Each structure stands twice: as C-alpha cells, then as structure tokens.
Chains A and B, each alone.
Chain A
C-alpha cells in the first residue's frame, strides 16, 4: 500500500529557473514530512522538513509547502543549479520518530 506518491518520475529544468517537485499522500495521520536528495551510488541526504502544524518551511534555496487539506506537499528549488541534478525523495512519518515512508522519487535534471 503506497501511502506516499511522487507521480512525476522525472523533471527537466533550465539552470537558474525554479524546480517544483510534487508529493501526494493518503494517510491524514502523517505528522512530519521530509525531502531527501540522492546521487547515484550514495545514500540519501537530508534537505528540508516540515511538520504538519506548518504550511511552509524555507531554508536557503529550498522551500517546502504543505497543503494538508489536499494531502499534498511540494519542494521548490530557486534558482536551480547543475549540482541539483539528482533523485529527490519525499518521505512521511506518523510520529516524532519511527519509520519513514518514501515516495518512488523524482529524477531532476538541470540543464545549462
């Protein structure tokens, strides 16, 4: 039962433009959401998170938006840079700790 979904397997964006990655979830009990970035042959690297009591969190070029009524979150990267080319995973958790449930990932390619 896939409770976290990333419906876009890939995204191509020009350097300097905005990248918008989307994530949908089905379990309204999720309390905490995280975005990870992953390069080939490496482990996921934590990017940014948001708790269910907030609707926006910003950290440098990365902003995460949460729409609880729509069970949707998005990650905005502005401006996109070549080093942002990677797979981005959305993850959700029921409690303050415990297992993460991951989406299938979105491959981002930033072109010059």
Chain B
C-alpha cells in the first residue's frame, strides 16, 4: 500500500517563476492537507482540500498561492511569481475522511529553493 507521494522532491526556481507541487494521497484517502516548514521552524498549516472542494484555506497567503484537488489526478499547490521567502519544505498529508480522530499521514515533501 503506497504512502503519500509528492513530486518533485526538489524544485529550483528563479524569482518570478511559477512553482507547481504535486501530491497523490494514500489509496482510499480523499482528504489532503498542505503544510509548509520554513528553516528551523515547525510545520505550518496552509490548506485542507477534499476532491473538488477547498475545506479550509485559512493558512494560505492571500496572493500568489493556490491549491486544487481535482476529481481525477493529484492535488496541486501552485505558487506564482515565487520570491526568496517561498523557499521552504512543502509537505502534503492525507487522511481517509472526516471520521473520528483521524490521523494524517505525510509525504516526503518537496523542497523548494528560490534563487
């Protein structure tokens, strides 16, 4: 049973370019969460999605960041016009649904470096 998959594992972008990060949840999981970890800090929640729905985007920066989880295919976190401050590790987690006290399982992360 494959775990949460993220690609690419490493991504280098120049300032002003776009970054697209992909996440495939565990088999049978329909809920996806995105978190960001800045150097020397803990993980910070960004967005929570179900298939075709954004449930909670309270942690998303107001500009340049967007996320989707289409009916088919992986969840995508998109960062437009990247700046150096976007350099971080981005982790995706998945869970089966909205059951009682569900555990989120994390992928290996995408490390974004903005030059």
Contact = CB atoms under 8 A, between A and B. Distances in A.
Identify the 9 closest CB pairs spanning chains A and B, nearest first. Answer: A43-B106, A102-B42, A99-B45, A97-B98, A104-B42, A102-B43, A44-B106, A43-B108, A96-B100
B91 A102 contact: no
B108 A96 contact: no
- Number of chain B interface residues as a range: 20 to 34
B62 interface: no
A83 B32 CA distance: 29
A11 to B, nearest CB: 16
- Number of chain A interface residues as a range: 20 to 34
Interface string B85-115: 0000001010101111111111111010000
B95 to A, nearest CB: 7
A101 B45 contact: yes
B41 interface: yes
A97 B108 contact: no
Given A97-B95, A98-B56, A45 B106 contact: yes
Contacts, number: 68
Contacts of A104: 41-42
A34 B42 contact: no
Given A43-B4, A99-B56, A89 B103 contact: no
Contact of B101 (A43, A49, A99): A49
A46 B95 CA distance: 12
Nearest to B96: A97
A4 B111 CA distance: 24
A20 to B, nearest CB: 19
Contact of B98 (A44, A46, A96): A96
Contact of B106 (A32, A36, A49, A99): A36
A49 B35 CA distance: 19
A44 B43 contact: yes
Interface in B28-42: 31, 33, 35, 41-42
